[in-house]
Structure 1
Amino acid sequence: MTTTTGTTTPTSTTPGATTPSPAPPLLGVSHLALSAPDLPAARRFWTGTMGFEVTTDTPHLLFVVHWPSRVAIAVTDHEATVRGPFDERRTGLDHVALAVPDADALEDWRQRLVADDVPHSAVVDSGAGLHLNLRAPGGVPVELYVMDAATAAAFGLDHPHEGHAHGPAGSTP
């Protein structure tokens, strides 16, 4: 739309809403990057409790990978400037949800969190699956989640897509 001053303003508030061609390919999530005020505590949590392996450890950046799931997480203290706890009520990240294959594995996680003295919720059936919630150091919410088949189907995750080896737990190629 052209205004009386000759400038052009967008007609849609949704970027890309009128893009006519298909998007270039994506392979998935490369990594999550989280801010935390205490990198040693983050390292203990992500490696000790969650079972990730450190691949990079510098004074202000920790990079960890969970090889079986190929989940990669970068944790930074932004040159020791991160202050205060995470607040999911602000614009940005709400939580990190990590997929768990079934209820038995979720119970194994619950027991591990108890053993490591990590505060967490009870296992809850949300109607979309089973989950429990906890917080990583710095306060980032982490959800361990077993998605039910109906929710996976509603999200389009009940079958593999071209280029993917498998779908969610319980799905078949």
Structure 2
Amino acid sequence: MTAFPPLNHVALTVRDLTVSGPWYGALFGAEPAIDEDTDPDLHHTVWVVGTGTLIGLHQHGTAAPAEAFSEFRVGLDHVAFGVADRSELEKWAARLDELGIEHGAVKDASYGSGVSFRDPDGIALEFFAPPA
């Protein structure tokens, strides 16, 4: 068997693409590569980030449940975007400030450093740098 394959894409369900689409577009600093209805009950918008990973937003025809996202529920905890080092991490924290996106302080641990933030639906996101 060959080596385990790299991550290809992450698809996140959002409540309202008219809110989340522009938010992610500003975060990524790019226009989506795909923005289409695949059937009457699904619209998806997809960006290509980093070295080719796809980040997709799905809005289903069936309304999302009323409860907010929680990393304490079984399923997704968070999505982390890797940066080269702590200096680059600090630049991304400053970029979040420029975009008006609330975020936590840079947290350092033995395994690396991160800054956490949430999208309009409360989905937990992070920029993460390996240890120095």
TM range (shorter): 0.7 to 0.9
Residue 102 of structure 2 aligns with which residue? 119
Aligned to 2:77: 94
Instruction: Please list, as runs of the form range in 1=range in 2, the aligned pairs for 1:44-123 lying within 5 A after superposition.
Output: 44-58=22-36, 60-66=43-49, 68-79=50-61, 81-84=63-66, 85-123=68-106
Instruction: Give the secondary structure class of the aligned counterpart of 2:34.
Output: strand
TM-score, normalising length: structure 2: 0.84
Task: Identify the match of residue 127 of structure 2 among 125, 144, 151.
Answer: 144
Amino acid at match of 1:146: A
- Contact kept in structure 2, 1:61 and 1:77, CA below 8 Å: yes
Give, in angstroms, the shift of residue 52 of structure 1.
4.3
In structure 2, the residue corresponding to 1:125 is in which secondary structure?
Answer: strand
Cα 1:27–1:53, aligned 2, differ >3 Å: closer, same or farther? farther
Deviation at 1:103, TM superposition (A): 1.4
Choose between structure 1 and 2: higher strand proportion.
Answer: 2
Whole-angstrom CA distance in 1 between matches of 2:102 and 2:65: 21
Show structure 2 runs of 5+ residues with no match. Answer: 38-42
Instruction: Confirm or deny that 1:34 pairs with 2:6.
Output: no
For the residues of structure 2 that align with 1:116 and 1:53, how far apart are their CA atoms?
Answer: 16
Output the amino acid matched with 1:43.
G
- Determine the C-alpha separation between the residues in 2 that align with 1:91 and 1:140: 14
Q: CA deviation at 1:147?
A: 1.6
Amino acid of the structure 1 residue aligned with 2:100: D
Q: Quote the offset at 1:111 in angstroms.
A: 0.8
Q: Which residue is 2:40 aligned to?
A: none
SS of residue paired to 1:54: coil
Paired residues, number:
126
**TM-score with structure 1 setting the length:** 0.66
Higher relative contact order (CA 8 A, sep 6+): 2
**Helix, strand or coil at the partner of 1:77:** strand
Shift of 1:69: 2.6
Gaps of at least 5 residues in structure 1 are 1-21, 150-173
**Residue 27 of structure 1 aligns to a residue in which SS?**
coil
